[in-house]
Chain A
């Protein structure tokens, strides 16, 4: 996840201070990826070093510093939005690694592992769907899109678990 570009996107809307950016980011993503405020300050300082953001005026008496995006920052942001996400090499997937190792090291109850995971994933999918019921498709469109993404990922995981089970079964039948 690019904290750097997320902050630039929020600052392109309007100048803000670090804590405001943290809250805004979390509101936009439904609290799904909490940001550490220290991480926000560090990122802002790096963005300043690279000339992509700049401070507005002096620090307020409560220590808060307002930041705005620079022209170079806007260019960087435009190019981020325009560039597809690179998915090679695939990001590490703990579930895939677990199942692969369970199969290659001949763990006893691989199908039990698959079943337990399917239950857990289905429960997660149900929870996302309950959130979706209450999401306003106009006012809360980003939130709804995030839920769609999480649901589609969970659905893909369930399909993959089904596929694993079917292939293990084929192997047993051949044996």
Chain B
């Protein structure tokens, strides 16, 4: 069995107390293996973002446990959680949060610099990450001089940079057209094929189709999980397409 990068064990999240308490996520078990790309789908208020916040240590479960790598987040001090979050988790949001006064390279290098990586090393790693998203030649551009699709790729590079264990993305294709959105999903797919792990919240089934596994949430519960088996070996043959009812 491959190692779990992320595991929720009976983790739930209740907002408020007493009669006004709302259980945004009911006790949930979810195990995500190295190299997996997992998509989370569900209607508004179904608990998608809550699940992602718990997974990324942006929030703590009310009960239950969240394991990142082999560390139980509940056993760590807030300071250590913050360090783990910075080193192990890359985030991509619909709002890009790129700093307008920094170039693409500087934006991508920033999380490493904040983590104490020397400037030259941080910039070199940033360039590698920009290369991975196909933007090496635009490293000196400022966000305003990039298209919205390119800006989103810079944000993706910032989530990939360094030696992050897992990338968490909340509607990373939300504001993009279909073709540009597909570029982002292809990048996440290629990143996971290279051994990384990613969890993507999306309302777009065509983007979820890039995932190894699609988890559907309803009312704070996982109701369906599609594609449970381990990721297919690279280059594995797909059967020819057949449309139902059209066979001769």
Contacts and interface: CB of A to CB of B under 8 A. Distances in A.
A159 B205 contact: yes
B242 interface: yes
B241 A31 contact: yes
B226 A31 contact: no
A162 interface: yes
Interface in B187-218: 189, 204-206, 208-211, 214, 216
Nearest to A127: B238
B95 interface: no
A154 B206 CA distance: 8
A39 B247 CA distance: 13
Given A31-B241, A119-B226, A130-B238, A154 B189 contact: no
Contacts of B226: 119, 122-123, 126
Interface in A149-175: 150-152, 154-155, 158-159, 162, 166
A32 B238 contact: no
A122 B241 contact: no
A43 B5 CA distance: 58
Q: Helix, strand, loop or mixed for chain A's interface?
A: helix
Contacts of B248: 34-36, 39
B43 A118 contact: no
- Interface SS of chain B: helix, strand, loop or mixed? loop
Contacts of A166: 43
A169 to B, nearest CB: 10
A31 B239 CA distance: 10
A122 B208 contact: yes
B242 A32 contact: yes
A60 B63 CA distance: 79
Nearest to B216: A118
Nearest to A130: B238
B224 interface: yes
Given A129-B209, A154-B205, A32 B224 contact: no
A70 interface: no
Contact of B214 (A126, A127, A152, A162): A126
Contacts of B242: 31-32, 34
Contacts of A118: 216, 224
A118 B43 CA distance: 14
A131 B241 contact: yes
Interface string A114-132: 0100110011011111110
Contacts of B238: 127, 130-131
Nearest to A36: B248
A30 B209 CA distance: 19
Contacts of A80: none
Interface centre among B204, B211, B223, B248 (most CB of A within 10 A): B248
Contacts of A123: 226-227
Contacts of A31: 240-242
A49 interface: no
B243 interface: yes
B232 interface: yes
Given A31-B240, A32-B241, A36-B248, A126 B206 contact: no
A128 B241 CA distance: 8
A150 to B, nearest CB: 7
Nearest to B182: A132
B77 to A, nearest CB: 41
A130 B193 CA distance: 12
Given A32-B241, A129-B206, A159-B205, 20 more contacts: A30-B241, A31-B241, A32-B242, A32-B243, A33-B246, A115-B224, A119-B226, A122-B205, A122-B209, A122-B227, A125-B205, A125-B209, A126-B211, A126-B214, A126-B226, A127-B238, A129-B209, A131-B238, A158-B205, A166-B43
Interface of B: 43, 186, 189, 204-206, 208-211, 214, 216, 223-224, 226-227, 232, 238, 240-243, 245-248
